[in-house]
Structure 1
Amino acid sequence: MIHAGPGQTRTGPVLICRGSVSRDCPHGPVPIDAGGCLVSPGLVDIHVHGALGHDLTEPDQAAWRRALEAHLHAGTTTVLATLASTGPAEMAAALATATGLIAGQQAPTLAGVHLEGPCLAPEQRGAHDSAHLRSASEVLRELTPLPEALRMVTLAPELPGADALISYLAGQGVRVSAGHSSATPEHLARARRLGLSHLAHLWSGQSALTRPALHRLPGLLEASLASTELTAEVIADGHHLPAALLTIALRCLGPDRLCLVSDATAGTGLAPGSAFRTGASTGRVHNGYAATDDHTSLCGSVTPLAVTVARMRELTGASVDDVVTMATATPARAVGLYPRKGSLLPGADGDVVLFGPDLSVRAVVLGGRPVTGVLPDGDR
């Protein structure tokens, strides 16, 4: 039982019985004094590629467990393992690794897989390896039958064959996200009707306003900000987006539709100068960020989700409740895990983060069991 004081993210005790939040417990719960900390649901990261030199496209279960444990110690108690574009065999092997870990209950924070690619627009590919981008029809064949662990796919909805892929995925209960895309508002509206419900990292890999003649034509970015139903992501690591853009995103979508994500790569927790792999691409760690070897594109982040919670508050002035919501309830809803994840409602998993007054992580609880240690964030 975790005791929280008034005025905090959670007021009053949080009772966890046999791994779940409960109204009562007949087993004599052990009290834990939060010591003036903010009590939050465990953080939910739906866009994370790895940590400590381990990329989640690796087919090695031990590598996955080390990366997931690193994020757990940093406050992330629920993860969608995000696979950057790679070859068909490598993608299938990584999906099989995730399925095995979940079936064997060997990775308690792993909630499924998020495929970021390989059905992406070449001109918006960012750090994705162009040699491993594939057509929607190829990806549809690769995902038939549907891999058990698959929960989300980010794709470019304007590409030929994307309609059939979106319909198939949405019909199977997989969340579909638009990203690394040059889609127009018309493309996005059609994809929304077919079941697309989410938008990957705003301002990163999105087409924007053009003026080919007299009239201005909005791109995917403007359509994203104007949307009234879609959820969307921002990477608030202090490097991807300045304060003004984060503020615009929050004002347009609000905390109930805007998700904080880390986009953390295998470079997370490594020293500046370290090289790492993400999908079929390589990146290098710099002072608080990662970039491609030619330094022409950011290559994910090296920042755990909890650090983006504090930075979102610093950069936008958003309330503590709002920034916590964007890292808990909102991403959990976006991928169909709420209220079991991202909440402290009765019946939710007993995942808790204790934040200090500066929103630094002081303690992590997973399924009612304390977790110790905090992952270095690279520049704080």
Structure 2
Amino acid sequence: MNYRKIKIVNGRIITPYRVINGGTVLTEGSRILAVSEDDIPASDAQVLDAQGLYISPGFIDIHVHGGGDSDFMDGSVADFLTVAETHMRYGATAMVPTTLSSDTESLRHAVRTYEAAHLRNTKGASFLGMHLEGPYFAMNQRGAQDPRFIRNPDPAEYASVLAETNAVVRWSAAPELPGALAFGSFLRSKGILPAIAHTDAIYEEVLDAWEHGYTHATHLYSAMSGVTRRNAFRYAGVIESAFLLDDMTVEIIADGVHLPPALLKLVYKFKGPEKTALITDAMRAAGMPPGESILGDRRNGLKVIVEDDVAKLPDRSSFAGSVATCDRLVRNMVRLADVPLADAVRMMTSTPAAIMKVSGTKGSLATGKDADILLFDADIHIDTVIINGEIRHRSNTARSVLTEPRSD
């Protein structure tokens, strides 16, 4: 049974800047009605006693490809919903489904499938729009992206794709490619976030890109240039550029494998929690046991092996994708990077909300915002997931206690 009001008490409420011990979070319908350090009388509310657990905004994953043995490139509504429900169990209350480099028709099909799935997504993490990752990448920095589909920006292609939909909210590309600056300006004119990714750009090229709308760096350190030499002279790469441009936002795969603790600490030190988002970048094997899997489309994707908490190429020469979930990212930032919990949560909530321009409704516990709320313990094990004011998941070992409203 769903109640219009939920009163959450006896927990530790996480705000972007502090933790409130005790207090109350009251929701009504799909919105947060009030957040207070004191008790809020509400005899008509279902009571959720947190039993000392943390009460947090829902996690927002702005870069995710799959999970639960499904991928957004598989091309079915059922696969979209499986990914959303899988990551929801690990604390994701909102996500930005992400594609891989592919042919034009596959991109169109992914977007059309998103539009259908968006209307039927009532059990998993909410969808915030599509992220097209590629195919406009530097071949040398393609990573696990299929080289058959890597190409330069084509105005006829991207204009036609975007003419058919309003679902795309972000598109990642290498800004040094011919036509990439015009592409960035076009995206910006449509209200779409251009992001720098899979790139060999140097600082001067990043500055040009910044002026054409590329204000975000996709999975910092992964598949991008650092300090490089050209004709014996050293040039700063995208990594250094992201640190030098104070207002550039970045995202990191904090799975503890793609970036070691020292680099997690470095990013936190330079960019801070207000400019750093945590992302899973997860492929279909997230939430699944180790073993063989497929990166991308189930029909013609890349075979990989999952071991050591990461996907690898079969010859183990390179990583081939993340299998992280949101809870793991926050846990790693606290344990591996010595980041205060409130800051780690901020990087998984209010910062990604700001990057995707949804901070007016999501990303923090505040009156009037969407009632996307988590309860979890000190080890970031998810106890309860609330999305749009509806309890969508409670763990099998839930510590919190649900009580029905009093019947007067």
Q: Which interval holds the TM-score relative to the shorter structure?
A: over 0.9
**Alignment-mate amino acid for residue 298 of structure 1:** F
Tell me the matched-pair count.
375
Q: Report deviation, 1:108.
A: 5.8
Q: Report deviation, 1:342.
A: 0.9
- Indicate yes or no: 2:147 matched with 1:136: no
Q: Report deviation, 1:330.
A: 0.3
SS in 1 for 2:191: coil
Aligned to 2:132: 115
More strand by share: 2
C-alpha deviations, 1:22-79, integer Å up to 9, x for none? Answer: 1389882211111111111000000000111111012210111011101111100000
**Structure with greater Cα Rg:** 2
Q: Distance in 2 between matches of 1:317 and 1:342?
A: 22
Change (3 A) 1:89 1:214: closer
Aligned to 1:3: 9
C-alpha deviations, 1:82-131, integer Å up to 9, x for none? Answer: 10112211111010011122245656611111111111110001000010
Aligned match for 2:389, one of 368, 375, 378: 368
**Alignment-mate amino acid for residue 204 of structure 2:** E
Q: How does 1:1-380 map to 2 (within 5 A)?
A: 1-5=7-11, 11=20, 12-23=23-34, 28-103=44-119, 106=122, 109-137=126-154, 139-145=157-163, 147-212=165-230, 215-279=233-297, 280-372=301-393
Change (3 A) 1:209 1:146: farther
**Alignment-mate amino acid for residue 14 of structure 1:** V
Q: Report deviation, 1:274.
A: 2.2
Q: Distance in 2 between matches of 1:266 and 1:33?
A: 34
Q: Distance in 2 between matches of 1:27 and 1:6?
A: 22
Q: Distance in 2 between matches of 1:153 and 1:278?
A: 17
Q: Distance in 1 between matches of 2:90 and 2:76?
A: 22
Which stretches in structure 1 are left out of the alignment for 5+ residues?
376-380
**Alignment-mate amino acid for residue 248 of structure 2:** L
Q: Distance in 1 between matches of 2:395 and 2:151?
A: 38
Q: Report deviation, 1:145.
A: 0.9
Q: Report deviation, 1:225.
A: 1.7
Aligned to 1:378: none
**Alignment-mate amino acid for residue 112 of structure 2:** A
Greater shift, 158-167 or 185-194, is seen at: 185-194
Q: TM-score, normalised by structure 2?
A: 0.87
Change (3 A) 1:373 1:41: same
SS in 2 for 1:189: helix
C-alpha deviations, 1:124-167, integer Å up to 9, x for none? Answer: 01000010112211542443415221011110011000111111
Q: Distance in 2 between matches of 1:331 and 1:256?
A: 9
Q: Distance in 1 between matches of 2:79 and 2:243?
A: 37
C-alpha deviations, 1:212-254, integer Å up to 9, x for none? Answer: 4554211111111222111101111011011111111111100
Tell whether the 8 Å contact from 1:4 to 1:39 is kept in structure 2 after alignment. no
Q: TM-score, normalised by structure 1?
A: 0.93
Q: Distance in 1 between matches of 2:9 and 2:96?
A: 30
**Alignment-mate amino acid for residue 182 of structure 2:** A
Aligned residues with identical type, % of pairs:
31
**Alignment-mate amino acid for residue 95 of structure 1:** V
**Alignment-mate amino acid for residue 267 of structure 1:** A
**Alignment-mate amino acid for residue 3 of structure 1:** V
Q: Report deviation, 1:343.
A: 1.2
Which stretches in structure 2 are left out of the alignment for 5+ residues?
1-6, 35-39, 397-408
Tell whether the 8 Å contact from 2:371 to 2:389 is kept in structure 1 after alignment. yes
Change (3 A) 1:4 1:155: farther
Across the aligned residues of Structure 1 and Structure 2, the Cα RMSD in angstroms comes to 2.0
Tell whether the 8 Å contact from 1:288 to 1:302 is kept in structure 2 after alignment. yes
C-alpha deviations, 1:272-302, integer Å up to 9, x for none? Answer: 2222232543332113110123322212211
Change (3 A) 1:202 1:335: same
Q: Distance in 1 between matches of 2:180 and 2:68?
A: 34
Q: Distance in 2 between matches of 1:301 and 1:65?
A: 19
Tell whether the 8 Å contact from 1:61 to 1:101 is kept in structure 2 after alignment. yes
**Alignment-mate amino acid for residue 342 of structure 2:** D
Q: Distance in 2 between matches of 1:50 and 1:105?
A: 15
SS in 1 for 2:329: helix
**Alignment-mate amino acid for residue 206 of structure 1:** M
Greater shift, 216-225 or 25-34, is seen at: 25-34
**Alignment-mate amino acid for residue 15 of structure 1:** L
Tell whether the 8 Å contact from 1:4 to 1:38 is kept in structure 2 after alignment. no
Q: Distance in 2 between matches of 1:6 and 1:309?
A: 16
Change (3 A) 1:8 1:256: closer
